[in-house]
Structure 1
Amino acid sequence: MRTSSDNAIEAIQLAKSFGSTLALDGVSFTVPRGSVFGVIGPNGAGKTTIMRALLDLIRLTSGRATLLGTDSRNAGPELRRRIGFLPGELNLKGRVTGRRLLRHYANISGPVRSGRVDELAERFGLDLDRTVRTLSKGNKQKLGIVQAFMHQPDLLVLDEPTSGLDPLMQQEFLALVSEARAAGQTVFLSSHVVSEIQQAADEVAILRDGRIITVAGVEALRDTAIRHLRLSATDLTSADLEGRLANLAGMDELDCRPTETGAEATAVFSGAITPFVQAIATLSLIDLVIEEPDLEEAVLRLYSAPEARS
């Protein structure tokens, strides 16, 4: 059984209002230590508000949160040194070089292992001797990533971390996240890119209009994600084949047709795969094609589904 000491983040009924606008509406979740937890949702869903509230950059209207066992409202320098933060709106300006700016952040965040900054900069192809104001958006984002990771914090809070990065650098970032998890660090990241969360996270919260629709493991989401399937079998009628498949949970748009030797079916399937395999186990299959689960399509369905409110 998981205890509170096993969690890097505990968020309990977080609520935040900006005037008459309710940005967070009773958001609760926990993030186990040494895991990668993703929050995904469209722009305006509340992802950035959650992160800023966790770090006490904005005060909650109600609810409470703990980070690494400490109430976020009591987050002093000691706790902040154990956290790496990459904001979604990274505003880096000035005539200083990237190297000098990182030296300034190191004085705030605590010790950085010798050579660590150069190692990270080399991985991302970042020239630390250029002035910050001459850097492109992508290179500024790389500088922000180096800043967040360089002191190897216990907890990383990353808001849209791959914004502005090309696909190669996105993969490098995901490798860095995997290494952090292997080292026992906890990563809490937000994104509106489903594939990014799918590759990086152990668990994911799907957020809409300031409320969490669901929290699930990525594999659990994959099990219920959308699959397009097609199969052909011999020695049965299309009615028999429909009888095998029609009552399976998540079987939609089922179309069964006769063939010269039996029957064939196409469908959109969002159910667990094991009952499907059991249903077709005794068929004499000629052809079976099951597309890779489309997690993005499943998430978009959750976004558009009517929301149940208590």
Structure 2
Amino acid sequence: MTGYILRRLLAMPFLILGIITLTFALTSVTRGDPLAGIISDRQMTNPEVVAAAKARWGLDKSLPERYVTYLGNLMSGDMGTSFITRRPVAQDVMARLPATLELVTAAMIFGAGAGITLGVVAAVWRNTIVDHLARLLALIGASIPVFWMGLALLYLFSVQWGVLPGPGRLDPRATTPPQVTGFMTLDTLIAGDLRLFGNALYHLLLPAGVLGWSVAGTISRLVRANMIEILHREFITTARAKGAGELRVVLRHALRNTLVPTLTVIGYSFAYLLTGAVLTETIFSWPGMGSYAVSAARGLDYPAIIGVTIVGGVIFLITNLVTDIAYVIANPRVRPG
């Protein structure tokens, strides 16, 4: 296991280098002028201002020169300066990363909980109306696009019925607590403001539900298929013959064996949500990495685009590694090859 982990860690820098190289290559074929987000339209007609802006941001150099310079700066922890915010990209990303992590963690808790519950219910009451209803709910979550579901639920629950708040992490007039962890729910608890904690949790419900429901369908179908297979195995029959109650058989014997392969899907789903929360954050005005990536892409903010890509790639690689390790620990019969 130690050798396997070391090999994976040694391979990560090369994978990240490949991500950086691919991102730089894509920026060379992107149509549009990044200077449009740096200087005004009137100044774009002034050759001296344009030349000075290109020299200031290194846009007067060729792509290979910018690539080598960026790698050199990155080795010292410098991701460059954002064209739009005029702040270091690393500072912008670290300021927004906790918001994304909070949203994705809540979404994964909801998605895993709902998916496992639906899968177990569908397997236990197989081919009944309960099974059909659970499979329908899972199919809806897996097939409906996140942006459509987000807009529809935001309109219904916030605009029409008024039972859930609108976009944002807090109400517009709420006072933001001192930032300690970056997680709004945790920071409000640390500040000892239970009312503000409830407000933060209230704002988290809808976006986390929309994002989590997109993976609940996949988890539900996997759990259902595995549960149906396991419930027909001999050790389940033996447990029932010894007098074990049906609830104990399902939860203690069948579900525990089902969760081992489900760990992989949950881990990869978490990595997917981290890098794929762009639409949800945009719809709900969630100030995370996704909305930052959208604004960077709109303004052709190359340093910000590359910085978000690097951080997302690192998180994805680490999450996959942790998932593989957790799977081996949960199933000792599996050994890394």
| TM-score of the two chains, using structure 2 as the length reference | 0.22
| TM-score of the two chains, using structure 1 as the length reference | 0.23
Greater strand fraction, Structure 1 or Structure 2: 1
| Higher RCO (Cα < 8 Å, 6 or more apart) | 2
Greater helix fraction, Structure 1 or Structure 2: 2
